[in-house]
Structure formats: C-alpha cells, structure tokens
Amino acid sequence: MKKSGYAVITGASSGIGMIFAERLAQKGYPLVLVARRKERLKNLADRLKEQYGTKCRIIPCDVSALEECKRLMQEIEDISVDIFINNAGFGDCCPFMNGNLEKELGMVDVNVKAVHTLMKLMLKRMCDNNYGYILNVASSAGLLPGGPYMAVYYATKAYVTSITQAVAQELKEAKSNVYVGCLCPGPVDTEFNQVANVEFALPGISAEYCAKYGLKKMFQKKVVIIPTIGMKVLLTLGRIFPRKWCVAFTGLQQKKKLCRR
C-alpha cells in the first residue's frame, strides 16, 4: 500500500540503515536516503525502485557538520515526513589514552550533535502536524553504566538514550501524537564492526532482524526498544548489581574484543 508521507533514513547506505530502507519500501513508503556515499545511495535507490517501485530521493550529506544537518532539513522542507530514522553513527574500540582524538570528537559530532540537531528540527515539524515517528538508533551500550575500552562510544549512546526517554515523556505529558523512541540493540553484524575495529565477544544479531523488530516496536510506540531477550536480561542484571561491578564486567567483555583484533 502506497504511503503519502516520506520516511527519511540517515546512514542509509549500509547496515541497519539500508535494511530500514528495504523494510519501509516494502511497506509502501517513499524514501529519502541520506549518507555520505552518493554512489551507494544511488545503487540502493535504483534497486528499491526496481523491486518495489519505491520513489526515492537521495541526499549525500555528512551529518558530522552542523551546517550539513541544517541543509538536510532545508532540502526536505517541501515534503511531508511521517518517519525519521536517526541512524547515522559509529564507534571505536581501544583504551581511552590510545584513542585518536579527531576520531573521538567526530564520534561525538555524529552520535550526539547530529542526532540531537536532527531530532529537534524534525520534532518541531512533526509537532506542528501532531503526527510522526522519530526513531533514534542508539545501543544497549547507552543503557549500561560505562564501557571501558569503548568509553566514548558508550558515553555518546548514553546521551541518545537519555534524551530520547526525556523527550518521549514530555510528548506524553503534552498528549502529543508524535512518537520518539530509541532502538538499543546489542551486537549487530554490520560494517560497524570494521569501523570500530572490533570483533564482538558476544554473538551478533542480523541487521535484518534488528531493523524488523525496531520498526515493529516503533509502530507500537515502545520508547526503549531492545531486540533480544539475552540483552534484556543483561540490562536487568545491570540495574540490580552495584554500578562498579557492572563497569568492571563490561570492561572484561570489551577487552575480549581487543584480544581478538
């Protein structure tokens, strides 16, 4: 069934973002595909048009720059947006003292500043219409007290989960029909692993399952979406045991990633 409002997806050129695009194309949404790599966006748009007849607009954009985030919002001013998937993000794994400062600050720009900016600007638009869905792709890392050896990544995702839950409560109290939620998976088998220089110590889920589950719970207006039972149990234990124990345990798990490199 064809939809009139668009779904906008950042980080759409690979991984979970690409699967979000495929799933929403199957549901009949016209798409705005956003990422840095124009050729990948074009290939994806061509494939979705051929398979599903999907109307796609591609916008090459580096959301690490504030002006690029503003340009993106200006470029979609002329369309109705029903869904905004705030998916762009990346990580890194190494001791904090050894980390590349430029890469770390770039991570803050993409994982925090871009998510914040795009959510705020899109939220204003959706609230004017009293309708829409915003899904911030966070991580189970954002629900844990800290992540030695991935300290910056954990901190950025904690920001995303925190601000999402706060804004969702504000919308609830305002009796708004606009939804804001966050997807918090554990390990997912995507290109994230290569960028972050990790091989996960725990088995990962597929991007297909993650995106499918995320969309299902988004449409059910679940605020914090955790795709696997195992991760739900782990996060529950994290609320029971002392914080310092959880940080130490997380550090042991992260250290295994370093040993596998």
Bridge partners of residue 188, in order along the sequence: 205
Question: Sign of dihedral through CA atoms 37, 39, 43, 49?
Answer: positive
This prediction has a pTM of: 0.87
| Homologous superfamily, domain 6-260 | NAD(P)-binding Rossmann-like Domain (3.40.50.720)
- 38 has a pLDDT exceeding 70: yes
Bridge partners of residue 178, in order along the sequence: 132
Note the pLDDT of residue 241: 55
Note the pLDDT of residue 252: 60
Number of H helices, E strands in the chain: 10, 9
Question: Sign of dihedral through CA atoms 182, 186, 189, 193?
Answer: positive
**H, E, C per residue of 128-164:** HHCCEEEEEECCHHHHCCCCCCCHHHHHHHHHHHHHH
For the segment 241-252, what is each residue's pLDDT rounded down to a tens digit? 556 656 555 656
Q: Which is higher by pLDDT, 253 or 147? A: 147
Q: Which residues are catalytic?
A: 153
Neighbours of 3 (CB within 10 A): 14
Note the pLDDT of residue 236: 64
Provide the b/e sequence for 161-185 (b: ≥16 CB within 10 Å): bebbbebbeebeeeebebbbbbbbb
End-to-end CA distance of the chain: 46
For the segment 151-179, what is each residue's pLDDT rounded down to a tens digit? 999 999 999 999 999 999 999 999 999 99
Q: Are 9 and 24 in contact (CB under 8 A)?
A: yes
